[in-house]
A = this chain, B = another copy of it.
Amino acid sequence: MRKDGKSGFTARGEATRLRIIEAAAEIVYAEGAAGMSLDEVMDASRTSKSQLYHYFCDKDALIQEVIGRQTRRIVEANAPHLDKLDSFDALRSWCNMIIEANRTFGAIGGCPLGSLASELSAQSEQARAGLANGFEAWRSIIAEGLARMKNQDKLMPSADTQALSMAFVAAIQGGILLSKTSRNSQPLEVALNMALSHIERYVVAPAER
C-alpha cells in the first residue's frame, strides 16, 4: 500500500487524503507544526485514526505533505501574475497586489512557508529540504519572469536574475515577518519598494531598446 505518493489511491481515497492535508495545513498555519496534534487533524478532517495512518505513516509525513501543499498554493496564486511578467510595471503591480492582500487581512497572516521554515529548518532535515524546495520553486517563477524581461531587452544584460529573484523573496519574507509583528503593512511595503528599486536599476528605458 502506497502511503507517500499522490496516486495509488481510489478517487475517494485521494479526496480523503487531500481533506486530511487541508485540515492539517490550517491547523499548522494557525498554531505551528509543534501545535498540531493528530487528534486535532482527525477531528477537523472527520477521519479515524486508522484512516489517517492509512495515508500517512506519521506526523512528519503529514507535515511534509503540508509543505508541498503550501508551496503549490503559493506558486499557483502567483504564477498567473508572474507568467505574464514582461515589464517593470507588471512587477510593480504584482507587489501592490501582495501589499493590498496583506493590508486586507490586517497584516496578521505570515507566509505559510516562511513560518514553517522558521520553526522547522533547524529541527527536521526532511522538513528543511522540503521548505528549501518550496522557496526555490517560488524564486524560480520570479527568476523566469526577470529572464523573460532580459530576453526582451527590457532588463540590462548585466542583471543577475538569479540573485535579483533571491533578494526579492528575502524582501517579501522579511517584510511579511515585520508586518505580522507590528500589525502594520508598512514594513512589507518598504521592503518591496527596496526590492523593486534594486531591479529598477537594471531596467532599460524604451527609447534605448
Contact = CB atoms under 8 A, between A and B. Distances in A.
A45 interface: no
A178 to B, nearest CB: 5
Q: How many copies does the complex hold?
A: 2
A51 interface: no
A68 interface: no
A163 B190 contact: yes
A145 interface: no
Interface in A153-207: 163, 166-167, 169-175, 177-178, 180-183, 186-188, 190-191, 193-195, 197-198, 201
15 contacts: A30-B122, A34-B35, A110-B121, A117-B180, A118-B119, A128-B181, A163-B190, A166-B187, A167-B171, A171-B171, A173-B178, A174-B175, A174-B191, A194-B194, A194-B195
